[in-house]
């Protein structure tokens, strides 16, 4: 089995979903698996329409790929049903090829309440979607139903509950592992604790939660952006100075730039200067084989939508060259916009 992994090298919202959907369309994986759901949203475009995914992997766009919610998933029941319906309404069959690991965990109403009581949004800018509280409840191993196999809900809705680790090892030759959130938000290795998430978002962390051996990993795609973001509110620092959206608009020459908002909470994101120190730390933690740069149009809006490297502005090419030389890497993929065709493979 060969597993390709897509990992976020910053703080989330680096266009991982776009990279996953692109890979799924072009490499025809047997399966795609996601862990660490609920609090992370990935936006992709399918036939010109935007889809915001918080549970189901973005590879659903390929109808020949099994879609798997791995052992490390945290699932909101209604959200999952809503996403299934959304995909079916798009004319894409999903239910029969969707596999849920029996060890995956439910997020229940008490988990949302617990994070609200602890005021995590005010204290650390948390999305307060219940994932951290649900993880704590799972670790305590006291209350039920905790896991999918402890409840009849999935079965009564006709969902496939299986041992996904056994399934992938026996039935799949190629798998895409879709990472969530960002490396520098990892609970153990982030330099910005406690302003982090409740999980480990590195390649090693997400592979472990999906049940993969390090020997399974074939190619690591590290996704990053020109100006990293953090969620709105008291969400902590980065290695770069905080900027305003007005400054980004002026630098890029895009006087119509609309401030980004988070997929899950709809809060305005905070945006920062690129940090070489942060980026180098992420390289150490992930060691990608392919570096994927997104939001190049934030450097020069004139490059929006371009799909040939030689057509990029001198300013954008200089930005890429500087980062490559500083970190002794080669940036293989460049995204210049949100649509699937807005990508340059060098």
Alpha helices for the chain (secondary structure H): 16-27, 77-89, 109-117, 120-124, 131-140, 153-156, 164-171, 203-210, 245-252, 276-286, 314-327
Percent of the chain topping pLDDT 70: 91
User: Where does 2-345 sit in CATH, by number?
Assistant: 3.40.440.10
- List the domain boundaries for the chain: 2-345
Average pLDDT value for the chain: 92
Residue in the block written with tokens 């992938």: 168
- Enter the tokens of residue 304: 């929006």
Give the separation between CA 341 and CA 58, rounded to whole angstroms. Answer: 16
Q: Which of 63-67, 123-127, 192-196, 262-266 is the most confident on average?
A: 63-67
Q: What is the dihedral of CA 77, 79, 80, 86, to 10 degrees?
A: 150
The predicted model scores a pTM of 0.93
pLDDT, average across residues 20-43: 88
Residue in the block written with tokens 């390289």: 283
Give the list of residues 6+ apart from residue 190 with CB closer than 8 angstroms, or none: 184, 196
Closest CA to 43 of 304, 298, 249, 295: 295
- Enter the tokens of residue 283: 């390289």
């Amino acid at each position: 089995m060969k597993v390709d992994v897509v990992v976020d090298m910053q703080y989330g919202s680096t266009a991982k979903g776009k990279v996953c959907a692109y890979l799924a369309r072009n490499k025809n994986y047997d399966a795609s698996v996601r862990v660490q759901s609920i609090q992370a949203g990935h936006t992709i475009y399918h036939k010109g329409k935007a889809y915001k995914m918080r549970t189901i992997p973005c590879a659903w766009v390929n109808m020949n790929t099994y879609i798997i919610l791995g052992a490390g998933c945290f699932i909101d029941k209604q959200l999952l049903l809503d996403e299934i319906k959304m995909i079916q309404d798009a004319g894409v069959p999903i239910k029969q090829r969707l596999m849920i690991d029996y060890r995956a965990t439910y997020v229940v109403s008490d988990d949302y309440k617990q994070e609200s009581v602890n005021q995590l949004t005010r204290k650390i800018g948390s999305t307060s979607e219940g994932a951290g509280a649900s993880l704590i409840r799972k670790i305590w191993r006291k209350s039920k139903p905790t896991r999918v196999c402890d409840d009849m809900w999935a079965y009564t809705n006709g969902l496939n509950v299986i041992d996904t680790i056994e399934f992938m090892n026996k039935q799949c030759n190629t798998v895409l592992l879709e990472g969530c959130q960002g490396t520098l938000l990892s609970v153990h290795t982030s330099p910005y604790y406690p302003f982090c998430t409740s999980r480990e978002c590195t390649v090693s962390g997400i592979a472990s939660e999906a049940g993969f051996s390090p020997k399974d990993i074939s190619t690591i795609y590290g996704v990053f952006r020109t100006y990293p973001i953090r969620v709105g509110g008291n969400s902590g620092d980065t290695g770069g100075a905080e900027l305003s959206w007005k400054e980004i608009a002026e630098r890029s020459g895009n006087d119509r730039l609309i401030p980004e908002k988070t997929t899950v909470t709809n809060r305005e994101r905070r945006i920062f200067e690129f940090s070489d120190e942060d980026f180098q730390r992420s390289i150490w933690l992930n060691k990608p084989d392919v570096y994927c740069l997104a939001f190049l149009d934030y450097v020069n809006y004139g490059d929006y939508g371009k799909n040939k490297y030689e057509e990029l502005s001198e300013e954008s090419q200089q930005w890429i060259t500087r980062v490559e030389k500083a970190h002794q890497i080669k940036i293989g993929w460049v995204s210049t916009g949100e649509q699937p065709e807005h990508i340059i493979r060098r």
